[in-house]
Amino acid sequence: MSTPRRLLLVNGPNLNLLGIREPEIYGHETLADVERIVTDAAAARGVEVTAVQSNHEGVLLDAIHDARTTCAGIVINPGGLTHTSVVLRDALAGVALPVAEVHISNVAEREKFRHHSYVADVAVVHVTGEGVAGYARATTLLLDVISGSAEG
């Protein structure tokens, strides 16, 4: 069976407020900008993107579960679920797809509760603190891992 030529882009709670919420931390780009950045980076490699954003954890879990048969990997910014959701981590581990974890801000330089990521141990790519441009780098690095031209 051939590898699916699709990535799942997952954005967690509150990322629908990009461009509005705390622009001094997250910038002025919107969720639509993020989706375009990832879609363009993937398209340059002949890969399509399915994007999902939700403020409801179950919606994200369902999308991750569905990706196991339709996608080659997952680019995810779990938002606040990064620091709280074992369930999200288990879903990512359970589908056994390569994962790129993205954070717009440098979470290691923020509040102490943001320093731990439940997703970190299941992700093969980590990009933090590069603004929304980090999504393009995460996508490219993940595609390198998937294609075998880089190790995760």
The phi and psi torsions of 47 (rounded to 5 degrees) equal -115, 140
C-alpha span between 66 and 64 (Å, rounded): 5
- How high is the pLDDT of residue 152? 66
pLDDT-based confidence at residue 2 (cuts at 50, 70, 90): very low
Q: Quick one: what percent of the chain has pLDDT higher than 90? A: 81
Catalytic residues: 26, 103
pLDDT mean over 93-120: 88
Q: Residue 8 in contact with residue 35, Cβ under 8 Å?
A: no
The domain spans of the chain are 6-147
Is 21 annotated to bind a ligand? Reply is: no
Domain spanning 6-147: CATH 3.40.50.9100: yes
Is 85 annotated to bind a ligand? Reply is: no
Identify the three-state secondary structure at position 105.
coil
Q: Cα dihedral sign for 59, 60, 65, 71? A: positive
Is 105 annotated to bind a ligand? Reply is: yes
- How high is the pLDDT of residue 35? 98
pLDDT digit string, tens, across residues 25-83: 888 999 999 999 999 999 999 999 999 999 999 999 999 999 999 999 999 999 999 98
pTM of the predicted model, to two decimals? Answer: 0.93
